[in-house]
Amino acid sequence: MMNNGNILQGQNRMRAKLLSTLVVMTGLIFGILLFSPNILSLNHSTSAMAQTNDSIGSSPFSLSNLIEQGSPYLGNLTAPITIIDFSDFQCHLCARHVKNTEPLINETYIQTGKIALVFKHLPNRGFDSMGAHLAAQCANEQGKFWQFYKVLYENQKGIDSGWVNKDNLKMLSSQIPELEVKQFNTCFEAQRHKEFIGNDVKLANSQGFFDTPSFIIVNSIDGSNLEIIRGAQPFPAFQSVIEKKLDELKN
Amino acid sequence: MYILIAAAVTIPIWILFNVFDQLIFFEPIWIFYLPKDAITGFILTTIVSILLEILVSMNIYAIGHSRLKIRRKSLFSGSSLSIISGVCSSCSSVGFLLISTFGSIGVITTNLLTIYQIPLRIISVAILIFALYYMHKRIVQSCVMDLRKDYM
């Protein structure tokens, strides 16, 4: 009988341990889910919207302001909607977006004049990221940003594996037709756009963006009606937001 | 009951893995998306979720039916390895948190976890398979009557 009592006691202890383990695991999972960037995006979106609505008129997100600041852009200046893309050239999810989603956005909305795409620098994936962004902005001086952007994403390798070290960046720039190498190298060596990129990072952080890729979709004219898309989401996610905005503008 | 427990374990873990891998999104629309570059990772995380489900169910069975001890070490080392590699593989806020909190060490850690994401997941699968084999052995062994012991 003593043995049976001990067995039962042991089993009860085990059950209690198991139950507490399951409770901890479930709590952990839901905790992580709750604090994951995708779930939180709703809250960020709301606070960001409030911020932007307060500052309409001098919005940093109006297309004219973005272009005036020197941000690279694609598409028609009269496009009613602007997508602002915060990315890092070393981020593999950004490469996923560029390979899978961006061509569809380009074909469906940019080529048809409905959308303008603006690039914002958010180098935070490794020590070499800043160099890649400085080089890209130097290419932008010569109107070659998007060619350089394509070359970088096509050649993307492991973070800080050396693929965007100084020498490789110069080598990659040589793949761009008609790029003035001397001008590019001078700009790159002098880190001419370091402050500009720093301002992009500050802007991203002020909107609660720490991860890449992150997107803001706004009305081009005044940077209002801000919507945020976090992560390398597929085309239908972008389509749902864009179509909604286009409908709102029609009405 | 075991099927319910298995589902209760697998579904949240599978969702968690895929949220971190940026294959499931809840905003602006609910969507599941599997691009080519994510197929290997997706297969591995699905295997980890299924193995974890079987292991948890076996542990519960064992505790309910015998004096066996739960193999928490294997259970947690396998699942936590997968979760950590999943979290840091994405350019997520968690990766940024590591970087901002631990500076250069955080950058190196995040990068290593990103680069070795697939090998880490294979290790998780191996650990879970070992745990399953061990658990199976213990359950089967417990069915053999030990005539030398007095259970009365």
A215: β partners: A85, A229
> Mean pLDDT across the stretch A54-80?
84
The residue of chain B nearest to residue A31, with distances taken between CA atoms, is B16
pTM of the prediction?
A: 0.76
Mean pLDDT by runs of 10 across the 152 residues of chain B is: 78 87 92 92 89 80 64 53 48 50 67 78 83 79 60 52
**pLDDT value, residue A2:** 47
From start to end of chain B, where are the E strands?
24-25, 31-32
Instruction: Give pLDDT, residue B147.
Output: 58
- The reply to whether residue A241 touches residue B70, judged by beta carbons under 8 angstroms, is no
Average pLDDT, chain A: 84
Q: Which of A12-21, A214-223, B98-107 has the highest mean pLDDT?
A: A214-223
Among A92, A101, A214, A240, the strongest candidate for a mutation testing the B interface, having the largest count of B CBs within 10 A, is A92
pLDDT tens-digit map of A101-131: 999 999 999 999 999 999 999 998 888 999 9
**A245 contact B CB<8A:** no
Cis peptide leading into A37, omega within 30 of 0? Answer: no
Q: Closest approach of chain A CAs to the CA of B144, in angstroms?
A: 17
Minimal CA–CA distance to A210: which of A12, A28, A44, A34?
A44
Q: How much is the average pLDDT of A154-177? A: 92
Is B48 near chain A, with CB under 8 Å? no
Q: In chain A, where are the structural domains located?
A: 61-250
pLDDT above 80 for A33:
no
Q: d(Cα B63, Cα B60) in Å, to the nearest integer?
A: 5
The predicted pLDDT at position A58 comes to 63
How confident is the model at residue B43, as a pLDDT?
A: 93
Q: Strand pairing of A73-74 and B31-32? A: unpaired
Helix (H, G, I), strand (E, B) or coil at A247: helix
Q: Could you tell me which of A246, A204, A240 has the C-alpha nearest to residue A119?
A: A204
Query: Does any CB of chain A come closer than 8 Å to the CB of residue B111?
Result: yes
The per-residue pLDDT for B113 is 73
Which amino acid is residue A95, in one-letter code? A
Give the integer Cα–Cα distance in Å for A138 and A182: 11
- Are the beta carbons of A224 and A56 closer than 8 angstroms? yes
The verdict on domain A61-250 having CATH code 3.30.420.40 is no
Closest CB to B35: pick one of A42, A45, A100. A100
Res. A10: pLDDT tops 70: no
- H/E element holding A111? none
With beta carbons under 8 A apart, name residues in chain A contacting B97.
Answer: 210
Could you tell me the two tokens for B139? 């359950």
The mean-pLDDT minimum among A22-31, A167-176, A221-230 falls in: A22-31
Q: A199: burial class by Cβ within 10 Å (0-12, 13-18, 19+)?
A: middle
Shortest Cα–Cα distance, B27 to chain A (Å): 7
| Residue A68, SS3 per DSSP | helix
Running DSSP on this structure, what letter comes out for residue A19? H
Supply the Cα-derived Rg of chain B in whole angstroms.
Answer: 19
Distance between B38 CA and the closest CA of chain A, angstroms: 9
pLDDT digits (tens, 9 = 90+) for A35-55: 444 443 433 333 333 344 444
